[in-house]
């Protein structure tokens, strides 16, 4: 009888200790920790996770250049705010700082999800030379974002250029019955060459996310 009672108590104790593990296993990377224990490490992991999600969205075409510009501007602003917070507290983040950053990251996380599911897409199977060049440059940016070689600020700048070139191509095609003239193709190619060099510099300037 005593052995049965001990077995019952032991089972109950194990069940209690198992609860936090279950709660933690259901936590998704895009959300704050379920137990509310936000640390400097979890803040950094969250930034990396969101950059990975943005990079994946760029590579898959779910995020357009314009959407990516907006998201990376916000990521850059959060990163700058974190640096300012750490300067004020000898390199550390206070509990209030962590709560503020987590709230901001939650908002960007929702915007990443919305951007990837709103039906606006970047063409990932272009037929024209201009379109293929644009797709190649988006892939290079996406790889740089995911690897950390391209920071949020650099990505925002590069994607702003991509969005501008895309808008220019759309406007010129619309004015010419869906086609680009030879002069327009040459102009776009020069702009894409400049963009290509900027992507290369961003990925090799030793600045990391």
Instruction: Work out the average pLDDT over 56-69.
Output: 97
Instruction: Work out the average pLDDT over 85-103.
Output: 94
Cα separation, 63 vs 11, whole angstroms: 49
Instruction: Work out the average pLDDT over 99-109.
Output: 95
Q: What is the pLDDT of residue 171?
A: 97
Instruction: Work out the average pLDDT over 10-39.
Output: 43
Question: 87: which DSSP letter?
Answer: H
Query: Which one has a higher pLDDT value, 62 or 24?
Result: 62
Instruction: Please state the domain extents for the chain.
Output: 40-203
Question: 205: which DSSP letter?
Answer: S
CB 100 within 8 A of CB 43: no
- Whether 31 has a pLDDT exceeding 90, the answer reads no
pTM: 0.79
CB 109 within 8 A of CB 45: no
Q: What is the pLDDT of residue 204?
A: 97
Confidence of residue 42 (pLDDT cuts 50, 70, 90): confident
Q: What is the pLDDT of residue 91?
A: 92
pLDDT above 90: percentage of residues in the chain: 77
- Whether 143 has a pLDDT exceeding 80, the answer reads yes
Please provide the DSSP assignment of 119-187 as one string.
S----SS--SHHHHHHHHHHHHHHHHHHHTSS-HHHHHHHHHHHHHHHHHHHHHHHHTTT---HHHHHH
Q: What is the pLDDT of residue 2?
A: 44
């Amino acid at each position: 009888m005593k052995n049965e009672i001990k077995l019952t108590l032991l089972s109950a104790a194990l069940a209690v200790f198992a609860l936090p593990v279950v709660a933690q296993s259901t936590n998704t990377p895009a959300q704050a920790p379920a137990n509310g224990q936000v640390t400097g490490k979890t803040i950094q992991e969250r930034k990396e996770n969101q950059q990975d999600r943005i990079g994946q969205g760029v590579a898959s075409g779910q995020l357009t250049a314009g959407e990516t510009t907006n998201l990376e501007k916000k990521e850059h602003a959060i990163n700058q705010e974190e640096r300012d917070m750490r300067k004020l507290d000898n390199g550390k983040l206070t509990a209030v700082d962590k709560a503020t950053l987590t709230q901001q990251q939650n908002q960007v996380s929702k915007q990443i999800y919305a951007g990837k599911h709103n039906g606006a897409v970047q063409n990932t199977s272009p037929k024209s030379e201009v379109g293929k060049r644009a797709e190649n440059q988006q892939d290079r940016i996406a790889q740089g974002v995911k690897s950390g070689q391209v920071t949020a600020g650099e990505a925002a700048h590069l994607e702003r250029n991509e969005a501008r070139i895309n808008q220019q191509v759309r406007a010129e095609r619309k004015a010419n019955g869906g086609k680009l003239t030879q002069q327009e193709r040459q102009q776009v190619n020069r702009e894409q060459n400049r963009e290509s060099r900027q992507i290369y510099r961003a990925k090799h300037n030793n600045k990391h996310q």
